[in-house]
């Protein structure tokens, strides 16, 4: 995020807080109560935003993780595409052997 974007987000949050404060004063609250309620709304909004961020971190649904996964998939696909048919058969045999060994380990 660029510096100007951070400035715009900060101004938007401050402006939103002012709008919420004015809305509470129009609804009949005095300035102190309107300020308290406006702050509460802003804090709850911040906590909600933080919760969504933490949820994306825990579920690994973030841009960086997705880009890394796409890169790894592309590298593996390129390696598979460059393999000869004999190498592919050898790899398939190794995979089947490892799967069989894992199955025997689970049963035993």
Tokens of 34: 């309107």
Cα 79 from chain centroid (whole Å): 29
* pLDDT single digits (tens) 23-42: 999 999 999 999 999 999 99
The pTM is what?
0.58
Q: What is the pLDDT of residue 25?
A: 97
pLDDT at position 32 is 96
For residue 108, pLDDT beyond 80:
no
CA atoms within 13 A on the CB side of 98: 6
User: What's the pLDDT score for residue 103?
Assistant: 86
Q: Please write the tens of the pLDDT for every residue from 53-95.
A: 999 888 888 888 889 999 999 999 999 999 999 999 999 999 9
Q: Which of 40, 37, 46, 48 is nearest to 13 (CA)?
A: 46
In degrees rounded to 5, what are phi and psi of residue 28? Answer: 110, 5
Work out the angle at residue 37's Cα, subtended by the Cα atoms of residues 32 and 40, and round it to the nearest 5 degrees: 130
**Across residues 36-52, what is the average pLDDT?**
96
Check residue 106 and give its pLDDT: 83
């Amino acid at each position: 995020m660029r510096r100007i974007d951070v400035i715009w987000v900060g101004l938007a949050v401050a402006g939103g807080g002012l709008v919420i404060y004015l809305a509470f004063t129009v609804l009949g609250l005095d300035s102190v109560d309107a300020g308290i309620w406006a702050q509460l709304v802003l804090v709850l909004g911040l906590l909600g935003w933080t919760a969504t961020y933490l949820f994306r971190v825990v579920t690994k649904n973030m841009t960086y993780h997705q880009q890394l996964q796409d890169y790894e998939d592309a590298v593996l696909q390129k390696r598979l595409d460059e393999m000869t048919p004999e190498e592919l058969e050898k790899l398939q045999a190794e995979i089947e052997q490892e799967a069989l060994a894992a199955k025997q380990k689970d049963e035993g």
